[in-house]
Amino acid sequence: MKRIAVLASGRGSNVQAVIDAISAGTLRAECVRLITDNPDAHAIMRAGRAGVPVTVLDYASYASKEAYEADLFAAMTDCRADLFVLAGYMRIIGQAITDTFAGRMINIHPALLPAFAGLHAQRQAIDYGVKVAGCTVHFVDGGMDSGPIILQACVPVLETDDENSLAERILVEEHRILPAAAALFCEERIAIEGRRVRILPARD
């Protein structure tokens, strides 16, 4: 059974989706740790309820990003996870970590990358006037929301949408494709070929 660690900064609905997929048996893995940069993250409560151990690294208490990332690196090494799932983790991760865990870290982003990377992706989509929006699960590399894409899902943008209503519609798809991508990884069905990710057929 693969070991998954989740990283989250806030509400944690994507963490919940991973936990629920494990309980449902659609994601055959063990969630071994939640790592959060925010002591007030609601994700902590969700992990606690599921019996997942939590490491809190209070970003605000660190003197520098380097000091914080040194502890993050140690926490990630310590939990011996096969896969790190960034589930609403709101910080850019430094190169030392992305290099060390390359090919073993995935992120959910609420836009159809490469459009609308960075913060407030749903607002960016509304402001730009696109008719279709969505979400992306991708490997994490040294850039911002730039690694190879594993899964994407799209939703329509309605004329009545604002940032919140669009975000809600996208979130439904996030909760579906994030555990699905984690499951593909755990089933060893992902081959990275340059920028392209090939999904291998299921084994019997």
Binding site for ligand GRF (CB under 6 A): 8, 10-14, 87-88, 108-110, 171, 174
Q: Which of 80, 71, 18, 72 shows the shortest CA–CA distance to 43?
A: 18
In whole angstroms, how close is the CB of 103 to ligand GRF at the nearest point? 21
Compare residues 78 and 162 and give the one whose CB is closer to ligand GRF: 162
Euclidean distance between the first and final Cα of the chain, in Å? 17
Closer by beta carbon to ligand GRF, 12 or else 179: 12
Q: Least separation, in Å, of the C-beta of 167 and ligand GRF?
A: 6
Cβ at position 203, least distance to ligand GRF in Å: 30
Instruction: Using the minimum distance from each CB to ligand GRF, give the nearer residue, 29 or 108.
Output: 108
Contact 9, 56 (CB under 8 A): no
CB of 145 to ligand GRF, least distance (A): 9
Structure tokens at 22: 């494990």
Active site residues: 109
Return the residue matching tokens 């894409």: 149
Closer residue to ligand GRF in complex, CB, 140/171 = 171
Which is nearest to 47 in space by CA: 57, 36, 63, 60?
36
The residues facing 183 across adjacent strands are none
Query: What is the Cα–Cα distance from 27 to 185, expressed in whole angstroms?
Result: 10
